[in-house]
């Protein structure tokens, strides 16, 4: 899917399992060392060595990359990293909104402010 999105210049929204989100947030809560671990993970994208369940599908996708993506596998890798950075940013934003809302919900004054949890604020 990412290859087609890159080829067509279509925005991508990454949707990963809740465990991935929690793991990412756990790393950020560890401070600089955790952030560096996340950064290191994000830079380990190697589409050229990716495997598919079906060898035929794998060959077809890799051929599509070679023939249609200027910059080939390196361009695909760069874009996947960018997609993942956007995902990390969205996860951090939702987490911060939740933390702020929890603090606001704990207030007892009559002028409580509600912070939208979605990023479509």
Whether 84 and 42 have beta carbons less than 8 Å apart is answered as: yes
Q: What does the alpha-carbon distance between residue 46 and residue 72 come to, in Å, rounded to a whole number?
A: 12
pLDDT at 16: 75
pLDDT at 53: 87
Give, in degrees to the nearest 5, the angle at Cα 64 between 59 and 68: 160
pLDDT values of the chain reduced to their tens digit, one per residue, 121 residues: 666 667 656 666 667 788 888 999 999 999 999 999 999 998 899 999 988 888 998 898 899 899 988 999 999 899 889 888 988 998 899 889 988 888 887 765 555 556 666 655 4
pLDDT at 11: 67
């Amino acid at each position: 899917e990412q290859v087609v999105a890159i080829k067509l210049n279509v925005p991508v929204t990454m949707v990963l399992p809740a465990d991935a989100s929690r793991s990412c947030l756990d790393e950020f809560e560890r401070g600089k060392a955790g952030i560096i671990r996340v950064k290191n993970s994000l830079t380990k994208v190697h589409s050229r060595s990716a495997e598919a369940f079906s060898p035929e599908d794998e060959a077809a996708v890799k051929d599509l990359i070679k023939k249609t993506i200027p910059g080939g596998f390196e361009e695909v890798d760069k874009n996947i990293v960018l997609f993942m950075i956007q995902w990390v940013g969205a996860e951090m934003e939702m987490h911060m909104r939740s933390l702020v809302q929890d603090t606001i919900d704990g207030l007892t004054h009559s002028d409580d402010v509600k912070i939208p949890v979605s990023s479509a604020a």
